[in-house]
Amino acid sequence: MNDTIITIDEVEKHISGYLLMRRNMGFKCNTEEKNLKSYIGCYRKAKEVLSEHNITEWCKRRPTDAADTWQRRCTYIRQFLVYLTNMGLAVRVPPVVRTREKSSFTPYIYSSEEIIAIYAVCDNLKAVSTSTHNGLFAMPVLVRMLAGTGMRISEALSLMVHRVVLDQGYVILHACKNGKDRIVPLSETLLEVCKLYQLYRSRLPQVSDYFFVQADGCPLSYKSAAGWWRKILHGAGILHRGDLYGPRIHDLRHLFCIESALQQAKNGANFYTILPVLAAYAGHTNIASTGRYLRLTSEMYPEIMSKTEDVCEYIFPRMKSHEY
């Protein structure tokens, strides 16, 4: 047990102070805040919230945890406990969790036929009840926005109306994952879809300042979008294997990056020009992050692979084999 018993109110107060300190240092802390609040919700009724037993249970790996998810959860609670020790409170800090396990996750790359089927299902979605508190209203546009721009689902859901400049054909993504803003252009077809959506959106009795809303005018949540996405996949005949394995709605971003690189390669560009531009467009801080999206094989994309070999051949020369 910890040497100091801290009440639930004190813990919540310290969490607020900890997050404020982190944000003043320039960190966004959205996921960190969500994780710490989840811990509080799990052990709120415990006699001692920050007991060694509770911390140990929280830091155990769950069957559905990917390696990085498990490591982040342990890191968040550990950093908070270190903060408490620096505040003079006697709490036990768990050891650092380090995993050398490489991620085996492979994004699902939708085929052209699957994308057409997904759009068709989106355009024919029907609500099963008369409740307006669902995300059906925005899903056809949201799916096309993700597939047509490659933006993150979090960026789309946080998009505000005043940052959607339809008369000039672009949107402004504010305070993205790396803390920077970026401008994302819209294609002509996507622009027409957004204008039609905006027309019907303006007819809602009450509506929030978020661009993607439900029929009741409230902001569209990730939970609602994910629920509708599973229904869309089912309607398109695509097997959904669970939240951990997908296919996920975020995989539309992978598809956009790969298709963009493929199109540029077909136009004669090489990776010296493709990756830096795509990295800036996708909001990555380095080319390596963009490279992880391009999980390509020579069987799927021979055009890109052949051009990559041509560009990099002098870096990795073919060696003659000799028998000794």
Please say if the pLDDT value at position 304 is more than 70. Answer: no
- Residue 312 pLDDT grade (very low, low, confident, very high; cuts 50, 70, 90): very low
Maximum separation of any 2 CA atoms in the chain, in Å: 83
Q: Report CA 211 to chain centroid distance, whole Å.
A: 18
Dihedral, CA of residue 114, residue 251, residue 34 and residue 154, to nearest 10:
-90
Dist. CA 93–CA 264, nearest whole Å:
50
pLDDT for the residue 5: 67
- ∠ Cα 63 74 28 (to 5°): 115
Q: What is the rounded CA–CA span in Å between residue 253 and residue 205?
A: 33
Centre a 10 Å sphere on the Cβ of residue 12 and count the other Cβ atoms it contains.
15
Percent of the chain with pLDDT over 90: 38
pLDDT of residue 284: 78
H or E element that contains 164 = strand 164-165
Domain parsing of the chain, residue ranges: 8-86, 112-249, 252-312
- Residue 105's pLDDT is what? 62
Region 190-198 average pLDDT = 95
Q: List the one residue out of 105, 143, 154, 149 whose CA is nearest residue 235.
A: 143
Highest mean pLDDT among 95-104, 233-242, 288-297: 233-242
CATH fold of 112-249 reads hpI Integrase; Chain A (1.10.443)
Tell me which range, 46-50, 63-67, 82-86, 118-122, is most confidently predicted by mean pLDDT: 118-122
Confidence of residue 311 (pLDDT cuts 50, 70, 90): very low
End-to-end CA distance of the chain: 66
- The C-alpha atoms of residue 239 and residue 243 are separated, in whole angstroms, by 12
Q: Which of 127-141, 154-168, 305-319 has the highest mean pLDDT?
A: 154-168
The yes-or-no verdict on residue 309 having pLDDT over 70 is no
303, pLDDT greater than 70: no
Q: What pLDDT was estimated at residue 319?
A: 44
- DSSP class per residue in 192-207: HHHHHHHHHHTTSSS-
**Cβ–Cβ under 8 Å, residues 314 and 303:** no
What is the sign, positive or negative, of the torsion defined by CA atoms of 71, 77, 80, 81? negative
Indicate whether 292 pLDDT > 80: no
Measured in whole angstroms, the distance separating CA 102 from the mean position of its chain's CA atoms is 19
Q: Residue range 291-297: average pLDDT?
A: 55
Mean pLDDT of 289-296: 60
Burial class (CB in 10 A: 0-12, 13-18, 19+), 9: exposed
Confidence of residue 291 (pLDDT cuts 50, 70, 90): low
Name the band, by pLDDT with cuts 50, 70 and 90, for residue 257: confident
Instruction: Kindly list the distances between the CA atom of residue 245 and the CA atoms of 66, 83, 260, in Å, as whole numbers in the listed order.
Output: 10, 35, 24
Q: What is the DSSP letter of 173?
A: E
Question: Which pLDDT score, from 0 to 100, does residue 33 have?
Answer: 92
Average of per-residue pLDDT values in the chain = 82
pLDDT in tens, 93-146: 877 766 655 555 677 888 889 999 999 999 998 877 777 778 889 999 999 999
Assessment of whether the complete model's pTM goes beyond 0.85:
no
